[in-house]
Amino acid sequence: MKGLWIGIVLTVVFLALALVSFVWTPFNIEAFDIPNKLKSPNVTNWLGTDQYGRDILSMIMMGARTSIAVALLAVGIGMAIGVPLGLWAAARRGSLLDELIMRGNDLIFAFPSLVIAILITAVFGAGAINAIIAIGIFNIPVFARLTRGAALSLWERDFILAARVSGKSAFRISWEHIFPNILNLMIVQGTIQFSLGILAEAALSYIGLGAQPPTASWGRMLADAQTLVSFAPHTALMPGGAIVLMVMGLNLMGDGLRDVLDPRIRVDRT
Partner 1 sequence: MKYTKALITSSFIAICATGALANDSVTIAVQLEPPNLDPTGGAAQAIDTVMYHNVFEGLTRFESDGAVVPSLAQSWDISEDGLTYTFHLAAGVMFHDGTAMDSADVVFSLDRARAEDSTNAQKALFESIASVEAVDPLTVKVTLSQPNGSFLFNMAWGDAVIVAEESIADIATNPIGTGAYKFSDWAQGDKIELTRNDDYWGEAPAIETATFRFISDPTAAFAAVMAEDVDAFAGFPAPENLPQFDADPRFTVLRGNTEGETILAMNNKMPPFDDVLVREAVSHAIDRQAIIDGALYGIGTPIGTHFAPHNPDYVDLTANSNYDPEKARALLAEAGFEDGFTTTLKLPPPSYARRGGEIIAAQLRDVGIEAEISNLEWAQWLEEVFNGKDFGLSIVSHTEPMDISIYANPDYYFQYDNPDFQAIMTELEATADPAARSALLAQAQTMISEDYVNGYLFELAYPTVVKAELQGMWENQPTASVDVTALSWAE
Residues that bind partner 1 (CB under 8 A): 30-32, 34-35, 37, 51-53, 125-126, 208, 212-214, 226-228, 230-231
CB of 238 to partner 1, least distance (A): 17
By beta-carbon proximity to partner 1, the closer residue of 63 and 254 is 63
CB of 37 to partner 1, least distance (A): 7
Buried b (16+ CB within 10 A) or exposed e, 104-130: ebeebeeeebbeebbebbeeeebbbeb
By beta-carbon proximity to partner 1, the closer residue of 15 and 38 is 38
Judge whether 217 and 210 are in contact, CB under 8 Å: yes
Cα distances (Å, whole numbers) of residue 240 to 223, 224, 247: 10, 12, 11
By beta-carbon proximity to partner 1, the closer residue of 31 and 260 is 31
CB of 240 to partner 1, least distance (A): 15
CA 124 to chain centre: 21
Instruction: Give phi and psi for 81, each to the nearest 5.
Output: -100, -40
Cα distances (Å, whole numbers) of residue 91 to 173, 174, 175, 179: 9, 7, 11, 12
CB of 81 to partner 1, least distance (A): 30
By beta-carbon proximity to partner 1, the closer residue of 179 and 218 is 218
By beta-carbon proximity to partner 1, the closer residue of 104 and 127 is 127
Neighbours of 56 (CB within 10 A): 28
Judge whether 90 and 147 are in contact, CB under 8 Å: yes
**First and final C-alpha spacing in the chain:** 17
Judge whether 174 and 90 are in contact, CB under 8 Å: yes
CB of 210 to partner 1, least distance (A): 12
CB of 211 to partner 1, least distance (A): 11
By beta-carbon proximity to partner 1, the closer residue of 224 and 259 is 224
